[in-house]
Structure formats: C-alpha cells, structure tokens
Amino acid sequence: MMSAIVVSHRWLGIAFCLLFAMWFATGIVMHFVPFPSLTEAERFAGLAPLDRGGPRISVAEAVAASGIADATRVRLIQRGDGPVYIVSGPSRSRAVRASDGADGSVTSVDVALTVVQSHADRRGLDALRAAIVARSDYDQWSVPNGFDRHRPLFRAAFGDAAGTEIYVSSPTGEVVLDTTRSERGWNWAGSVLHWIYPTVLRSNWALWDRVVWTLSLLALIAALLGAVLGIVRIRFREGQTASPYRGWHALHHLIGLAAMLFLLTWILSGWLSMDHGRLFSHGQLTPTEAGVVDAAPDWRDASSLDLQPTSPSTREVEWFAFNGKVYRRDRVDLSRQMLTKVGEAPRDEPVAFLDVQEIGNLTARLAAGCAAPFVLAGNDNYPAQSSIPGAPVYRSTCGDLWFDVDAANGSVLQRLDPSRRAYRWLYSALHTLDFPILLAHARLRDALIVGLCMLGLTFSITGIVIGWRRLRASLAA
C-alpha cells in the first residue's frame, strides 16, 4: 500500500508540479486584478438622458414586436442611434426601436460605431479615435457564459494610451464589456492561466468544465497522497520534528508539513469551484420556483405606467414583473431611482424600492413557512449585493431554505439551501478567505492571501526541482 502511494504521488507530482506553481502564482494576480467586466457604474455612466420628444410605442407593443413571449423585463435606453426598448426573457434579449417597433439589433459596423462613440463620449473617452476592429462570437475576454445572449459582439478599439476596447451586443446594441491593455496583460498572467481559459477550450463550456474538473481532482489526489506520506515520514529527534530526507526533498517535506492545512484546503476548494452541481446545489431556482419568479405578466397592464411623465434627467426606465404585477422604475443616477406599481395610486413621496410586504408575498409563493423578510446586514456570513449601491437586499427564511431578493429590481439574488450554505464555506471562504472578519480588515486579508500563496509557490518549486531530477534520471536509465 505504501509503495503504491509513493509511486502514485511521485508521478502525479511530476505531472502536476508546474500546474500547482501556476495556480499559486496566478492566484496572487487574480486577487488584485479580476477578469475584465463592465461594472454597473461604467454601464450607467455611458447612458445618455432619455429623449422625451418624438413618438414612442407602448411597452406591450415593444414586447409583441420583439417576439419574446416569455419576456419578464423591458428597459428603455437612449442609444447613440435613438431610443430603444431592450426586451428580455429568461434565455434571450432583443432590441426594439421605441419609435416604431422595428428591429433594433445591430448588424452594421456604422451603427455599432455610433453606439460606441455615444457611450465613450459620456464616459470621457476619446470617442473620435474609436474604430470597430472585429465582430465575432468569442474572443479571449468575451468567453464567459453571461455573454451568450449578446453574441456576436462588435469590438471597438480606441488606440488611446490605456489601450481601451469596448464590446457591443448585436441583439441589443448595448455596450456589455470594456477592457484596457493593463487588464488584459495582467489577466494573461492571472485569470486566463488560473482558470485554464484559452478561447479554443473555454468557448466549449461543457468540455472546459470536464477538463478543469478532472485536472483539479487529480491535483487534489496528488496533494492528499503527499499529505499521507508527509505525516508517515515524520521523525522526531530530541523532541523536534525532523525529516529523513536531505536537500530539496527535506525542504519539500518540511514546507509541506508546515503548509499542509492550507495546501489541502486550497486545492480542495479550488476543485469545488468547478462543482457546478455535482456534489452541491447550484444556488439557482428550481424550475417550479423559476416559473413563479419569471412568470410573464400581461404587458397590457403596463399601459397606465406608460403614461407617466419621464424626468429630463432619467437615463433608464425599466418595467419588470414581480409577483404577478408590473412595476416601473425610473433611474436618474446610479444610486437613485423611483419605483411605481401598476394600479397604485400616486404618492406624495416617491418610493425607491420594493417593501418587505411585497417581497414577503412573493417568497410565500416559493416555499411554505416563510418568516417575515429582513434586510441583509453588510457583514452577513452569506453576503449578497444589490445592483444599486446602498439598496437593501431582503432575506426570507423558509425553514432551511433562504431567498435573497434585490429590493431595487425584484431579482432573486440567491437561493440558499443547507447544501449551498455549506458550499459557501468550503469553496468561497477557503479559497478566497472571504471570512467576514477578514473582509473587515482588507489589508490583513491581502497579506494572508499573498503570504499563503507565496508559501504554496515555494513548496511547488521544490516539487518542480525534485520532479525534474526524477524525470531526468528515469529518462537516462
């Protein structure tokens, strides 16, 4: 048995020592430079105030023109080429021109460039230097699944000092991603390597999922076998722990013992990051629950909301279905909005968010025995954030099943059953050290992550040296 463990650890170690080193080194980069994305603040900053003049079809007409029968959300924005409704259902989105209901998707380079220039001008970028350089389904920075409903994407380059590039969705004509040269460079040394994210592999999600899950599992097995050997090989001399090995083998043994807890939990949690429902729940609504939350309303009910005047400073209006009713929210700036419900009498004081009763009525339809929803604290052990800075997130506990609802737009942010709550600690906490106490002390958390990853990298380097020597000796024999 011990001989089998030694041989298995040796050859798995040779096969995975470089991968271990890469994961630890790139983990440090990822902690400080995340994968490129368009933040909500950047997206909203690029929106122009809505043009209140000119003809505009109703929301119900826009939904009908889109052909999305299960639409649950409709947004009105001012694109560079005119106002459009963005109609969204559970699986797809499409733009419809607000003036006449015509197709608002972007198929030409000229229209895409107009959208880019309008967005860039609002954000203070040099719009005149922008040029469309590609139109494709996938590239290195648009491989995540969240872009599936926006493919193909137009990519515009600005040729500025920052190397800014912006991506435009073909179906909706919205800006959905931006990157800079610095982000791209650091991510080649971070996320792309860490997640094994080359475009050719990541564009096939199922294949990528199986490959990375298998590699992570084999790496975990190698680490577990090493831990067994490390403990068995411990020697005690004059009351102190010692190693029977010399040189690089001794360093590998002693550093492995010292870092064993971190190494095992980090590799385990890294493997669990690829779980995707294999051992733990997804944290997503069941089909029955989704049928309640995503039920398409009768959009004709929104006619009364269509008639409400729009403020000159409004930059986005959204109509969404929540618990069988249609709501309208007018967004003036990133953190300020006004919410109105169909059939509700005008109020002296505008309401900004859904209230506890409205959210409680929805969650009571999702599960039995729900307690009254409460506002989630900022330091909660199972955090969730609204899409609007400072907006409340309500948690409704229905026995062992919890639902977190964004009071700004009615979306269910999390579905937490016991399995998902356990996953939060076994993956997120162990892999990113996002324990509430460490989140409250960011510099301490930074130092721990860098220090532990450097320790793991040092340990991996000893494995590389040992593995290279062993491999060279085997090839020479």
Q: In this structure, what token pair is assigned to residue 27?
A: 């983990």
Q: What is the pLDDT of residue 1?
A: 84
- Contact in structure between 359 and 396 (CB atoms under 8 Å): yes
Q: Is the dihedral of CA 12, 17, 18, 19 positive or negative?
A: positive
Tell me the C-alpha distance between 413 and 403, whole Å: 8
What's the confidence (pLDDT) of residue 85?
A: 97
Token pair listed for 129? 């230097």
| Helix/strand number for the chain, H first, E second | 17, 16
pLDDT by residue, tens only, the chain of 477 residues: 888 999 999 999 999 999 999 999 999 999 999 999 999 999 999 999 999 888 899 999 999 999 999 999 999 999 999 999 999 999 999 999 999 999 999 999 999 999 999 999 999 999 999 999 999 999 999 999 999 999 999 999 999 999 999 999 999 999 999 999 999 999 999 999 999 999 999 999 999 999 999 999 999 999 999 999 999 999 887 777 789 999 999 999 999 999 999 999 999 999 999 999 999 999 999 999 999 999 999 999 888 888 788 889 999 999 999 998 999 999 999 999 999 988 776 565 678 999 999 999 999 999 999 999 999 998 999 999 998 988 999 999 999 999 999 999 999 999 999 999 999 999 999 999 999 999 999 999 999 999 999 999 999 999 999 999 999 998 887
Question: Beta strand pairing status for 153-157 and 165-169?
Answer: antiparallel
Question: Is the dihedral angle over the CA atoms 357, 359, 364, 368 positive or is it negative?
Answer: negative
Q: Phi/psi of residue 317, each to 5°?
A: -120, 130
Order of strands, sheet of 412-416, starting from the edge strand that comes earlier in the sequence: 374-375, 393-398, 401-406, 412-416
Which residues contact residue 92 at a Cβ distance below 8 angstroms, ignoring those fewer than 6 apart? Answer: 68, 149, 171
Taking the C-alpha atoms of residue 11 and residue 32, their distance in angstroms, rounded to an integer, is 33
* Cα gap 406→417, rounded to integer Å: 18
Structure tokens of 44?
């909203």
Q: How far is CA 317 from CA 78, 236, 259, 471, in A?
A: 10, 71, 53, 64
Q: What pLDDT sits at residue 229?
A: 95
* The predicted structure's pLDDT at residue 309: 84
pLDDT at 324: 87
Please choose, from the candidates 178, 13, 208, 175, the residue with its C-alpha nearest in 3D space to the C-alpha of residue 95: 175
Q: How far apart are CA 191 and CA 183, in angstroms?
A: 10
Rg of the Cα trace of the chain? 27
Strand arrangement of the beta sheet that strand 153-157 belongs to: 131-136, 153-157, 165-169, 175-179
- Give the three-class secondary structure for 316: strand
Amino acid at 272: L
- For every residue of 120-180, DSSP letters joined together read HHHTT--GGG-EEEEEES--TTS-SGGGGGG-SEEEEE--STT--EEEEETTT--EEEEE-
